[in-house]
Structure 1
Amino acid sequence: MRQQNKEAAAGDPQVGDTKTWLALNDYTGQIYVKDYTLRGIGDHIQVWVANNTAFPDGDCRNDLNMTEVTDEQVDSFISEFDNNMYPKESASFSVAPDRDGSGAILPSAIGEPDDYYQVSADQADDTVTLVDNVRDANFYEPSTPDGQTFIAGFFYSVFNDYTDRNVMTIDANDWLHRTGANPPDDSDDPAYIACAQSQGYERGYGAPRPRDYEGTFAHEYQHLLESYVDPDEDSFINEGLSDYAQSLVGYVDTTLPPTAPDADSHIGCFQGYLPEAYGGAENSLTLWQDQGGPEILCDYGAAYSFMMYLYSHYGEDFMSQLHTEPGNGLKGLTAVLKDAGAKRTALQTVHDWLATMALDAAIDKSGKLTGGSKKQYTSDSLSSMINWANPQSYDSPGAPPNGADYVRLGKPGHWLKSKQIDSLRFKGASSLAPTPVEWIVDTTPPDATTADTTCGAVEDGTGAAALYSGCGENLDRSIVRQVSVPAGGGTLSFQALWDTEEQWDYGFVQVSTDGGKTWTSLSTEDTTSEHDPGAVGNVVSELPGFTGDSGEWKTETADLSAYAGKKILLGFRYITDSGVNEGGFWVRNIDVAGTSVPSDSLAGWKTITQVNPVSVPDWTVQLIGIDKSGKASYHNLKIDKSFRGSLSGAKLRGLLGKDATTVAALVTMDDKSQTITQYGKYSLKVKAPVAMGNRSGR
């Protein structure tokens, strides 16, 4: 067993000690406690391995000892952190503050003394690394779509808050093949093949993935650092920087083409080279986990490739500033670009990156590009191409905000060449399709909520009917109607019951005085503006709201004197993120200054977007052509104020080349505000001698 590097002060944990730490059951959305044994101590890290890392009884992965973690592996992991990850990320990003455990709040909850997690100054700068078999969908149901991926590691600031230490978790699953520079290859072993097949695991078991967990740890360590310097950073920047950290420390080579055996799976997913279930290039950069399930890999791939594009154009100092920039998302990126003297806006940079993902490898091959700058549409850190045949590059209705539909003209097996095209016409929608009412009338709403109330596990009650938001991930569900406030003002009252992920998901009561263009969330006795630093922006912008577990029906009241004598829109809204799905939000017995508002029928209720459709800010259509030699051409299609654009076949050939065998359109709905969560409808029509090129009604 590994001996610790530094002298242990009296009371400090030593190798071989056992202690209770936190663990995550992502499947049920719960945090629990379990015992871990300290297996090694380095200069800046402690590795604690859970005493129980087994899969459920009967799982064939137990027979393969897939959660065994050896002392040699622990030693190697510690060495990599102390000698590689820690110095490089400290220099390029930031250094976490020491935490000595003196402010821990968990000990009293688990019956331990207040100083249970307290350490001396010698260990206060250590990162506590918990190695555990994280209980996620892969742990319980590996054959399901969600079970096809697993949580390789995570940083959760709540663990820090409870223990007053810097804590990270890395998965215990398959350290044999996922750690070290040269893990063995057992992918052809009949036992591994049989286990993967029995569980329907498409990617197989036993394949070597060098430094996979070290890379994950480098990724999560950036999150830990970011939580101190910019805790509310947008996910695509935060996750992108964390993936970039893997390349910073040398664990991931993003210059490999997506077809290479060791190519990064995140970027490969975004390029469309993973199985279709994982998604493809039709992906918003700025929306996170909007498609759910395993397609989150493509969210990572979009963010990772975008960061590598920024790094190749602006360098490491730029990335360091992006890590510490207090502004979030595209606004923060704008500030860093300005400081760097860049001539491109944040949104223009997104467009350039989107085009680079399609053009980079072709330009690398031929060294030629017409219609644009080779530097602008290539990246030294990538070797990118798009799998045009993957329907996940284009087939969801509409184009993503700040992403692109990658539409190769024609159809698989019958792609159009530039010489076959007679004309091209584009028309983008000026507004988004209104969302229908998704709230329902719950005729048997629960009488109370409990710790066991979750999405899909809501008990029927005996009280009056109520309006119910439903439940799920990435929701923004509203019901609104016009009401009149008397000249003397008055009070809004209603009964509410809620069960949400505390400080992440919220219910709201809102009013609008301008026809639904803007909304104000009302305060009641039980609303709060407190939120987790990582809460999504469209939640935070609407606070105050109801969060957590109300336990019972609460009578809520709000003063309407500010709206005296006016007709206003009254609304109830439920917004969630992509994480834990709790029971939802119920409302009944609504009264506006003495006038009852129905809560046992949906008649008269509309959605926010039905009363005020969301306008599309702008469209960008980038056209590319590539011939057999790799010679590439680029053109930004001119879009008029009515969001129309067109080219004749002759004009298109003049711009993209008469010999182009790949002709494609990259269609983007622009949203620099990052407030739009829907895809924008458009039509892209191509006239050719044979009708094989149209992309309409999207």
Structure 2
Amino acid sequence: METVSGTVDAIGGGLKVGHSQPFFVNDLLDNTTYTIQATLQVVSDNAYWYVDDNVTLSDEALMKAADVFEAKIRPDMVKSLGDIRKPGVDGDPRLTVLHTPLRAADGYFGSSDEYPRSIHPHSNEREMIYMDASRLTPGTSAYLSVLAHELQHAIHWNQDGGEDAWINEGMSELAKEQVGYNAYFVDSFLRRPDVQLNFWPDDIGASAPHYGASSLFMAYLAQHYGGYQAMGDLVRQQADGIEGVELYLSEYGASFEQVFKDWAVANYLDADSGPYGYADRAVKVRSVRPVFTELEETDSMPQFAARYYDLRLPEGDYVLEFAGDATVAQVGTQCHSGNRCWWSGLGDSIDSMLTRDLDLTGLTEATLEFWTWYEIEEGWDYAYVSVSNDGGVTWEILEGRHTTAEDPVGNNYGTGFTADSGRWVQESMDLSRFAGERVQLRFEYVTDDAVNLDGFVVDDIAVPELGLFDDAETVGDWTAAGFQLISNELPQKFALQLIEFGMDGSSAVREVNLDDDNVGEARLAGFGKALENVVLVVTPLTRGTYMPARYTLSITAGGDG
């Protein structure tokens, strides 16, 4: 290992210690990009350690961090999960670790840096991790914990670049645990367990319980299904999100829904053995709704979340009745007209397209009109409308009333839709430059690898000069790749589980049967005699939506036991 001397070549060739260059850095608080100058201060076998020229870090501290990285963090993670991209976009096998003051994050992995600048204008064109130099001291446990977390992201990008954020973040938290550092956010989740596991918020300040949820779920998954050494199979699984976990679990004869239900119980019960507990940690949900008397309430909650009711009722027998909504919306609106509309779908690192031919021959001018509703991660994800007049070889992105050319972090490929429309808005785009030609028209939705929201919805598409009006009630002449023609309604699924605690200290778990309309009941016999208390766990289980599930719950005295 070498420190700053200005004369020693990096190990195995490459950059010299003392090399100075500019870097793009993202401000994650206000979604902007700026440039700093940094100098290569330490070179280790597998990494370059740069420091912002406006920051002073000691050689000793950096070498301590590099020593732990090379001796423990990197080899353990590579053995279990795989390696980063090598030699990478820059042709150099080393990872770059840049130390610079960051806002709103202790560190981050820059996936945009994996691309040449011709594709992403703010790419640093290398495999790269950013570490906050204002709060973290190299070599400390806090620093090394963040470094391990971000290294997993770099590995995951190479193994499966399109993975959903909730899995990626959960794996990063699990990976740092496995190399000796604590997962910070579990308590945030245990205090707020009714957050959607497979959703990641766009508000950084709201992310702590989501980190905790994904962290704890991955720890549970590793413990009960294959061990940490098998988690590399999940990282390499090319299917993303729940589908990827489902395929991983298929090797163990388990389904995602069943594992999720067991996990929800384990987070309250934490039994000494079996599926309802953890062998290596003490876990206890801290947010429950106490019920001391008869109850009737209507409420809603996110999908793939858990809500706990602690029933501590007066002596006697009771009947629990549940009625959940039979359906749930896919997005937070209704179609503009009729029963159907086109939807981009949702997910991280997706590129959804909806394409059709237009014959504009014989026209001297043309206009595209359509109605749209969208909820898109502002400044990071975009939707576009584009036209090709060369058979799809090249595409020209169209400008509209609601598009923007602003490009704060380099993710906007032209003039795109981003942020929240707030309502259905009518869009109009000039097609006159293509009049007289046969062209292809395309709607497209592109997301990055972190947050995604409800997406982009289109309805009532028209080219008046062509006499074309498409109300999106049928597929018609469109070719969809990622887009879906939806009625904005999915079947809602629920699971209800009872954790029954006996007066003798025993516990048992049973599921409440629900019919096809999500209606069911359970008799709770012997409070104050056989039963001390019962914890009801409610879990909505509908995939493909971020919309909440509604239900009505009642508990009344009576029943024959």
The CA RMSD over aligned residues, in Å, is: 4.7
Where does residue 241 of structure 2 map in the other structure?
Answer: 329
Report the Cα distance in structure 1 between the residues aligned to 2:73 and 2:261, rounded to whole angstroms.
Answer: 32
Amino acid paired to 2:108: F
Quick one: structure 1 residues 15 and 329, their matched pair in 2 at CA, closer, same or farther if it must change by over 3 Å? same
- Which of 184, 199, 212 lines up with 1:265 in the alignment? 184
Query: Is the 2:200–2:452 Cα contact (8 Å) retained in structure 1?
Result: no
1:145-160 equivalences under 5 Å are: 150-160=104-114
Where does residue 132 of structure 1 map in the other structure?
Answer: 100
Amino acid paired to 2:109: F
Q: TM-score, normalised by structure 2?
A: 0.71
Where does residue 547 of structure 2 map in the other structure?
Answer: 678
Quick one: structure 1 residues 574 and 231, their matched pair in 2 at CA, closer, same or farther if it must change by over 3 Å? closer
Quick one: structure 1 residues 266 and 164, their matched pair in 2 at CA, closer, same or farther if it must change by over 3 Å? same
Query: Is the 1:128–1:167 Cα contact (8 Å) retained in structure 2?
Result: yes
Where does residue 143 of structure 1 map in the other structure?
Answer: none
Quick one: structure 1 residues 553 and 77, their matched pair in 2 at CA, closer, same or farther if it must change by over 3 Å? farther
Q: Which runs of 5+ in 2 are unaligned?
A: 116-122, 291-296, 337-346, 349-357, 387-391, 399-411, 418-426, 436-441, 470-482
Report the Cα distance in structure 2 between the residues aligned to 1:22 and 1:282, rounded to whole angstroms.
Answer: 37
Report the Cα distance in structure 2 between the residues aligned to 1:396 and 1:299, rounded to whole angstroms.
Answer: 25
Q: How far apart are residue 229 of structure 1 and its match?
A: 1.5
Q: TM-score, normalised by structure 1?
A: 0.58
What secondary structure sits across from 1:265 in the alignment?
A: coil
Query: Is the 1:308–1:382 Cα contact (8 Å) retained in structure 2?
Result: no
What secondary structure sits across from 1:319 in the alignment?
A: helix
Amino acid paired to 1:403: A
Query: Is the 2:303–2:548 Cα contact (8 Å) retained in structure 1?
Result: yes
Amino acid paired to 2:530: K
Report the Cα distance in structure 2 between the residues aligned to 1:347 and 1:380, rounded to whole angstroms.
Answer: 22
Amino acid paired to 1:555: D
1:181-580 equivalences under 5 Å are: 211-252=141-182, 264-272=183-191, 280-289=192-201, 292-313=203-224, 314-339=226-251, 342-360=252-270, 363-364=271-272, 374-389=273-288, 397-409=299-311, 416-417=312-313, 419=315, 422-432=318-328, 493-494=367-368, 504-507=381-384, 526=396, 548-549=414-415, 554-556=429-431
Query: Is the 2:10–2:43 Cα contact (8 Å) retained in structure 1?
Result: no
Quick one: structure 1 residues 653 and 505, their matched pair in 2 at CA, closer, same or farther if it must change by over 3 Å? farther
Residue 666 (1) aligns with residue 545 (2): no
Q: How far apart are residue 165 of structure 1 and its match?
A: 2.0
Where does residue 107 of structure 1 map in the other structure?
Answer: none
Quick one: structure 1 residues 157 and 637, their matched pair in 2 at CA, closer, same or farther if it must change by over 3 Å? same
What secondary structure sits across from 1:378 in the alignment?
A: coil
Query: Is the 1:127–1:167 Cα contact (8 Å) retained in structure 2?
Result: yes
Report the Cα distance in structure 1 between the residues aligned to 2:164 and 2:89, rounded to whole angstroms.
Answer: 29
Quick one: structure 1 residues 377 and 7, their matched pair in 2 at CA, closer, same or farther if it must change by over 3 Å? same
Quick one: structure 1 residues 500 and 426, their matched pair in 2 at CA, closer, same or farther if it must change by over 3 Å? closer
Report the Cα distance in structure 2 between the residues aligned to 1:52 and 1:30, rounded to whole angstroms.
Answer: 20
1:13-24 equivalences under 5 Å are: 13-24=15-26
Indicate the larger mover: 214-223 or 549-558: 549-558
Report which structure shows greater RCO (CA 8 Å, sep ≥6). Answer: 2
Query: Is the 1:325–1:336 Cα contact (8 Å) retained in structure 2?
Result: yes
Report the Cα distance in structure 2 between the residues aligned to 1:396 and 1:163, rounded to whole angstroms.
Answer: 52
Report the Cα distance in structure 2 between the residues aligned to 1:653 and 1:92, rounded to whole angstroms.
Answer: 49
What secondary structure sits across from 1:647 in the alignment?
A: strand
Amino acid paired to 2:200: W
Cα distance per residue 1:59-104 (max 9 Å; x no partner): xxxxxxxxx633332122111110111110110011223337657x
Amino acid paired to 1:684: L
Indicate the larger mover: 316-325 or 588-597: 588-597
Where does residue 70 of structure 2 map in the other structure?
Answer: 82
1:566-645 equivalences under 5 Å are: 591-592=463-464, 612-626=487-501, 631-645=506-520
Query: Is the 1:432–1:678 Cα contact (8 Å) retained in structure 2?
Result: yes
Where does residue 166 of structure 1 map in the other structure?
Answer: 127
Q: How far apart are residue 335 of structure 1 and its match?
A: 2.0
Q: How far apart are residue 418 of structure 1 and its match?
A: 7.3
- Which of 74, 91, 98 lines up with 2:86 in the alignment? 98
Query: Is the 1:24–1:30 Cα contact (8 Å) retained in structure 2?
Result: yes
Q: How far apart are residue 7 of structure 1 and its match?
A: 4.8
Amino acid paired to 1:42: S
Amino acid paired to 2:415: D
Report the Cα distance in structure 2 between the residues aligned to 1:101 and 1:323, rounded to whole angstroms.
Answer: 21
Query: Is the 1:502–1:549 Cα contact (8 Å) retained in structure 2?
Result: no
Report the Cα distance in structure 2 between the residues aligned to 1:265 and 1:396, rounded to whole angstroms.
Answer: 34
Report the Cα distance in structure 2 between the residues aligned to 1:524 and 1:407, rounded to whole angstroms.
Answer: 57
- Which of 512, 522, 526 lines up with 1:647 in the alignment? 522
Q: How far apart are residue 3 of structure 1 and its match?
A: 2.3
Query: Is the 1:619–1:643 Cα contact (8 Å) retained in structure 2?
Result: yes
What secondary structure sits across from 2:283 in the alignment?
A: coil
Quick one: structure 1 residues 10 and 433, their matched pair in 2 at CA, closer, same or farther if it must change by over 3 Å? closer
Report the Cα distance in structure 1 between the residues aligned to 2:458 and 2:302, rounded to whole angstroms.
Answer: 31
Quick one: structure 1 residues 523 and 553, their matched pair in 2 at CA, closer, same or farther if it must change by over 3 Å? farther
What secondary structure sits across from 2:195 in the alignment?
A: coil
Paired residues, number: 469
Quick one: structure 1 residues 610 and 234, their matched pair in 2 at CA, closer, same or farther if it must change by over 3 Å? closer
Work out the percentage of aligned pairs sharing the same amino acid: 21
Quick one: structure 1 residues 419 and 17, their matched pair in 2 at CA, closer, same or farther if it must change by over 3 Å? farther
Give the structure with the larger strand fraction. Answer: 2
Cα distance per residue 1:559-614 (max 9 Å; x no partner): 9xxxxxxxxxxx99989787599xx99999954455698xxxxxxxxxx9999341
What secondary structure sits across from 2:75 in the alignment?
A: helix
Query: Is the 2:3–2:59 Cα contact (8 Å) retained in structure 1?
Result: no
Query: Is the 2:331–2:545 Cα contact (8 Å) retained in structure 1?
Result: no
- Which of 136, 149, 154 lines up with 1:175 in the alignment? 136
Quick one: structure 1 residues 633 and 500, their matched pair in 2 at CA, closer, same or farther if it must change by over 3 Å? closer
Amino acid paired to 1:660: E
Q: Which runs of 5+ in 1 are unaligned?
A: 54-67, 104-123, 137-149, 181-210, 253-263, 273-279, 365-373, 410-415, 441-472, 475-484, 510-521, 529-545, 560-570, 598-607, 690-698
Q: How far apart are residue 224 of structure 1 and its match?
A: 0.7
Report the Cα distance in structure 2 between the residues aligned to 1:523 and 1:378, rounded to whole angstroms.
Answer: 55
Where does residue 687 of structure 1 map in the other structure?
Answer: 556
